[in-house]
Amino acid sequence: MPRRPLRKDELIEKMRTALGLTRYEALLYLALLQGASSPREASIQSGVPLPRIYDVVRTLEAKGFVSKSPEGWYRAMPPRAIATSVLARIEEESRKRARKVAEAVEELELLAGRLEVSPGALVIEGFYNIVSNAVEIASNSGKVYLLFTTGLGRGESFLRTIITGFADVMPRISTRVLVAGKEILGNETLEFIEQLGGEVRQSPCVQVDMIAGSSGVLVVLQLHDNMTGFRVTPGIPGLLKRLDIIWDSCTQPLTKNG
């Protein structure tokens, strides 16, 4: 069934939320896309007041949505082309925010010192809560095992998020990823793990999704649409030694090209 074209007001709202434009910017871009060839014509077609046209079009130019034409006015860049500028802007904003997060975390760690987690068992609900607990276990362990099956709906994304979370301390951590099958991780994720100094092996003994280190163990389950974790602090006696035996029994490490 063909998709229904969006009404103009729906399209303007989508351009505002998805592309980061103001209402005037979205209206003017549409007018230029539809061939408005002068400031007055663009004002009439878009509804943007003529005294505002030049301010708005310069903002669109700065965002990569329009460029100057040989005649001295502006032309709309093709919709597919503006996706590149939008994604580049999102990536730049993400990097800036990531730096601010890292700076804030450093200040908080200086204030709080090393937090001690009370021993015991906890049930943890939700993807992001589980990620935080997994990163804490990995960061506070000299060796960490990450076991993954096909049981998690966000398994590969989950793994990448966890490893990114403790990437800064990975040089001092032995990071070992055990997967139940080769098909679980794509080449991009394998390369990502290799670049950060981790190692991946395959074993039929992997039957559960788990993060295990000396500071704790977190078993992760996918229950319908919800991700649930069961955390034990500190680690389970003898578990790491058993995982060492499984690791040593594996064949060659999985690599991007292998």
Per-residue pLDDT of the chain (258 residues; tens, 9 = 90+): 566 777 888 888 988 988 889 999 999 999 999 999 999 999 999 999 999 999 999 999 998 899 988 888 999 998 888 888 888 888 888 888 878 877 786 777 666 655 555 677 888 888 888 888 888 888 888 899 988 886 665 567 777 888 888 787 788 888 898 888 777 778 888 888 888 888 889 888 888 888 999 888 998 887 777 888 899 888 788 889 999 999 998 866 766 655
Q: Where are the chain's structural domains?
A: 8-77, 120-249
SS3 130: helix
Q: Take residue 48 and report the two structure tokens written for it.
A: 């943007």
In the chain, the N- to C-terminal Cα span, in Å, equals: 43
**Fold of the domain spanning 8-77:** Arc Repressor Mutant, subunit A (1.10.10)
Cα gap 15→13, rounded to integer Å: 5
CATH number of 120-249, picked from 3.30.390.30, 3.30.870.10, 3.50.50.60, 3.20.10.10: 3.30.870.10
DSSP state of 179: E
Integer angstrom CA distances of residue 245 from 26, 149, 248, 249? 60, 19, 5, 6
CB contact at 8 A, 15 and 21: yes
SS3 121: strand
Nearest of 191, 186, 201 to residue 146 by alpha carbon: 201
- For 227, residues 6+ apart whose C-beta sits below 8 A from its C-beta are 125, 126, 127, 130, 152, 153, 154, 158, 220, 221
Cα gap 216→121, rounded to integer Å: 10
Q: What are phi and psi of 139, to 5 degrees?
A: -65, -25
